[in-house]
Amino acid sequence: MTAQLAHKPVSPAFDDPTPGDCYLERLPLSSRQRALLSERMQGEVITNSAEEMAALHLALAEIDDAVDDEFARENPAYASIANRLQLVYGMPPDGNPAPADARAANSASISNISSHSSHTAGATPEIVKDASGRTRISIATPLNRTPIVARPWGTLNPLVRWIENANHAFDRRPSLKSRRRKSAQESAQQNSVEQHVKPTDAHDPRGIWRHNGNLRRIVLITLMLAQTVLATYFMSTVLPYHGAKPMEMLTLALFAILFCWVSAGFWTAMAGFLVLMRGTDRYVISREDAAPGPIPANARTAIVMPICNEDVTRVFAGLRATYESVMQSGELGRFDFFVLSDSGDPDICTAELDAWVNLSRTLGAFGRIFYRHRRRRVKRKSGNIDDFCRRWGANYDYMIVLDADSVMSGTCLTTLVRLMEANPSAGIIQTAPRAAGRDTLYARIQQFSTRVYGPLFTAGLHYWQLGESHYWGHNAIIRLAPFMEHCALAPLPGEGSLAGEILSHDFVEAALMRRAGWGVWIAYDLAGSFEEMPPNLLDELKRDRRWCQGNLMNFRLFLARGMHGVHRAVFVTGVMAYISAPLWFGFLVLSTVLLAMHTLMVPEYFVRPGQLFPVWPEWHPEQALALFSATATLLFLPKILSVILIWAKGAREFGGAMRLTISMLIELLFSMLLAPVRMLFHTRFVIGAFLGWAISWKSPPREDTETTWEEACRRHGWHTVLGLGWGTGVFLLEPAFLWWLLPIVGSLVLSIPLSVFSSRVSLGRSFRHARLFVIPEEVDLPPELAATTAYNEAGKRLAGFVEAVVDPTINALVCASVTARPAVPAASLTAHAALVRTALTDGPDNLSPKQKSALLDNPLMLSQLHLAVWSSPDANRQWQAFVVPGTAIG
């Protein structure tokens, strides 16, 4: 479901209503309040709509002739903000008015007439006026600023760094004259982030697990290298000249790199399989380590959700489900929730504020759920998190980061806090999110594969990495003090596409946390952490484009001083996830070139200088088949073992043993068909990153979007052409070799229909009805996911930019959520007046997003436009249609 941004004109209650009549219809006024307003407006000489609306706002603001407030009379709509908010949000969230005796108690005040005798604490927002008399609604806690310094990386080139260190050592014996010339400030200056690393304040800087962890990694490297050397040797025997010619040497080099990469994944899965079969690992940071009982009162945790132009209804549905689950755990008092918005779309910004106030009213959560809209959007998500830490991080011990599609159970969240309390040396604990909630065939297959195969690989990662693990940027808990001290990210030095602002911040933050002496763990056995998958192949590849750029940039930190070896390996695995695509493509191209050379050129029998005996070109198909089978085993055996593991523990939640096996076989075929398509896309991404192609950073879709035939042809057309041309060329050279290449070229030829049909919701639901690709979260739906779906489907219509201008309540809410700055230069006042006039006469559809945002960010302009659209005969017809439907303003 997309964000429901709809405009809500209200039909007038009178036969010939005035703008003032329609305005009052938009406010929850009782008959007594209407009478009081009439009394306040008596004696006013009203000749047109402008005078009527100005008098109405002054009456709402309780300003009469006895009150000397020139600013309020110049800005009557701004003066009435506080009372408009109190009229709406001073009532209980169920909308029932207070008893008559309670209403009569304060009949002298329009806003107080709506006061009620009883409501839950936190069910109404705090509406205050600052020292300058500006109305504000408390959407966030008071600031507690803490400086956060992103220190420069220093020299990343190890050779240059070695030279600098040598020069520094030589300069330690300067002459007396130069020593005097050197100021104390220069000698104390710290130039790079490495020089800021001080002795760690972690409780267990080395960790009792470090020794065994190092032994495990030595075993892993030994297994990988031995397997790679053996496979490369057999590959050399397959080649016609056994690797003696330059083209064959290059082919062998690519094969060795790719096989080593596959071997790393294989042994990771094997380690995970052994751990899961045994049921535990000695060093697992599991939920069993968390002390039972209530969380200590001084352990404060902020749950933060950074968002940017997301589906607002879905975001707040997931947040509500998570909040209610924490409330049911009985530990709600230890948590605060922050929605951190970087949205730039004016409609979405208004909808977020509307959704926040509605959610807080419904849950009675004012003072527990906070909203922050960042207007200076620097460093994307990491900058958004930095902004939170800088403003409020000192108030909390821990921070749990959620993505816009994240949902977490109260049990999972409270367990994470207890784990942090039980492990004082842990800096980050990452959960293993389970994918669920999608209906397209593509997403359901991905959900199935991550749910079936994922536990093997995450358990294996933990086995090799222990306290130096991955951090994936969400569904994880972070110890805030060391994070704020050590993990602020400076831009990468240099110029070009791989310099500047770090895009994929999570791996780097984990590396910095570990460098400071704090552990980074994966709680792979902790349930209750959920996320959503991209609905189709093309949306997944759009995300991969950003991740590719970010991982290539992160690799520049591979040789940064002070990084732990495991996190250097993490940088390698991050870049290999994408660099492996052009390497594989190059290997396939070289194999085709070798075939052409072997077919079209005269064989060369003497390939080395001084060779006495000829080398006969040989082709051993049986050895090639054996090598192919060995490689396939490394790729597919982990999946088979995952299924065997589920068989051993019970496959009912996966549709039963038979359907689980069928689902695995279909998934194997599907992944084989998609691999060459991903290879070409990732190759293009890597080339684009090195050439500096611009990338767009947009939020992924949060609904089941389907791929059209037009888009599929546009994105996959060249794949089809390449597959047909490549296959035809190989067939003409050597028909028998086409069978070896058929999995590649055949997948490329089928890429268009594969992309389209796999995005179909109908096919995904058909497979579900057949109980294929079933996951436990579908058989036994967790209450948090059920609640998220229900709230998303039942989501009310949310306000947009038009409501922020027209609707009395939404206008007051938006105006009170930002700070007015009355003292501005005269030139700015002139520009503001011109913008208000342009917006009034041109209408909302003719305003640019920049103009709309400028209006939303300035409550004085927005309140002036609000008054004008309700009263000016010059208002565009689009405004009039929402003010008084079917009636012109005069």
Query: Residue 433: pLDDT above 80?
Result: yes
- For residue 418, what pLDDT is reported? 94
Closest CA to 153 of 492, 564, 570, 500: 492
Query: Residue 319: pLDDT above 70?
Result: yes
| CATH number for region 298-538 | 3.90.550.10
Closest CA to 839 of 864, 811, 814, 812: 864
Sequence-ordered strand ranges (E) for 73-226: 127-129, 135-137
The pLDDT confidence band at residue 614, using thresholds 50, 70 and 90, is low
> CB–CB of 801/350 below 8 Å?
yes
Q: How far apart are CA 485 and CA 238, in angstroms?
A: 55
Please give the DSSP secondary-structure letter assigned to residue 496. Answer: S
**Pairing of β 426-431 and β 519-523:** parallel
The pLDDT confidence band at residue 663, using thresholds 50, 70 and 90, is very high
The pLDDT confidence band at residue 204, using thresholds 50, 70 and 90, is low
Closest CA to 859 of 87, 81, 54: 81
- Mean pLDDT across the stretch 372-391? 91
Length of the chain: 890
Please give the DSSP secondary-structure letter assigned to residue 127. Answer: E
Please give the DSSP secondary-structure letter assigned to residue 66. Answer: T
- Mean pLDDT across the stretch 399-424? 95
Give pLDDT tens digits for 333-344.
Answer: 999 999 999 999
- For residue 473, what pLDDT is reported? 92
- Mean pLDDT across the stretch 30-46? 73
Closest CA to 561 of 859, 135, 54, 158: 158
Query: Residue 6: pLDDT above 60?
Result: no
Q: How far apart are CA 118 and CA 112, in angstroms?
A: 14
Query: Residue 613: pLDDT above 70?
Result: no
- Whole-number mean pLDDT of the chain? 85
Which residues does 831 contact at the CB level (< 8 Å), separation at least 6? none
- For residue 11, what pLDDT is reported? 41
Angstrom CA distances, 42 to 625, 722, 756, stand at: 97, 81, 67
Spacing of C-alpha 48 from chain mean position: 51
- For residue 744, what pLDDT is reported? 94
Query: Residue 852: pLDDT above 60?
Result: yes
Which element (helix H / strand E) includes 839?
A: helix 826-842
Burial class (CB in 10 A: 0-12, 13-18, 19+), 659: middle
Q: Count Cβ atoms below 10 Å from residue 131 Cβ, excluding itself.
A: 5
Closest CA to 778 of 524, 526, 444: 444
Give pLDDT tens digits for 76-133.
Answer: 888 889 888 888 886 544 444 444 344 334 434 555 533 333 334 467 888 877 766 7
- For residue 299, what pLDDT is reported? 93
Give pLDDT tens digits for 804-833.
Answer: 999 999 999 999 998 766 567 777 788 889
Query: Residue 281: pLDDT above 60?
Result: yes
Give pLDDT tens digits for 706-745.
Answer: 999 999 999 999 999 999 999 999 998 888 888 889 999 9
**Pairing of β 127-129 and β 369-373:** unpaired
Which residues does 529 contact at the CB level (< 8 Å), separation at least 6? 406, 408, 409, 412, 431, 432, 433, 434, 475
Instruction: Read off the amino acid at residue 865.
Output: L
Runs of H (alpha helix) within 243-336? 246-278, 312-329
Q: What is the pTM of this model?
A: 0.88
Written in H, E and C, the secondary structure of 569-582 is HHHHHHHHHHHHHH
Query: Residue 186: pLDDT above 60?
Result: no
Q: Count Cβ atoms below 10 Å from residue 776 Cβ, excluding itself.
A: 16
**What does residue 151 show for φ and ψ, rounded to 5 degrees?**
-85, 145
Query: Residue 242: pLDDT above 90?
Result: no
Query: Residue 9: pLDDT above 60?
Result: no
Q: Which of 17-31, 107-121, 130-144, 635-649 is least confident?
A: 107-121
Domain ranges across the chain: 19-138+830-883, 298-538
Sequence-ordered strand ranges (E) for 416-552: 426-431, 434-435, 476-479, 519-523, 529-531
Sequence-ordered strand ranges (E) for 87-209: 127-129, 135-137
The pLDDT confidence band at residue 134, using thresholds 50, 70 and 90, is confident
> CB–CB of 398/471 below 8 Å?
no
Which residues does 214 contact at the CB level (< 8 Å), separation at least 6? none
- Mean pLDDT across the stretch 421-450? 94
More confident residue, 304 or 871: 304
The pLDDT confidence band at residue 182, using thresholds 50, 70 and 90, is low
- Mean pLDDT across the stretch 638-664? 94
Query: Residue 330: pLDDT above 80?
Result: yes
Which element (helix H / strand E) includes 535?
A: none
- Mean pLDDT across the stretch 552-556? 93
- For residue 223, what pLDDT is reported? 96
- Helix, coil or strand: residue 69: coil
How many Cα neighbours within 13 Å face the side chain of 192?
13
Q: Phi-psi region for residue 347, left (φ > 0), alpha (ψ -120 to 50) or beta?
A: alpha
- Mean pLDDT across the stretch 376-382? 87
- For residue 92, what pLDDT is reported? 46
- For residue 602, what pLDDT is reported? 57
Residue 782 in tokens: 């967790």
Residue 290 in tokens: 């968390």
- Mean pLDDT across the stretch 177-185? 52
Rounded (5°) CA angle 855-305-779: 130
Instruction: Read off the amino acid at residue 770.
Output: A
- Mean pLDDT across the stretch 34-58? 76
Please give the DSSP secondary-structure letter assigned to residue 299. Answer: -
Q: Count Cβ atoms below 10 Å from residue 741 Cβ, excluding itself.
A: 20
- Helix, coil or strand: residue 771: coil
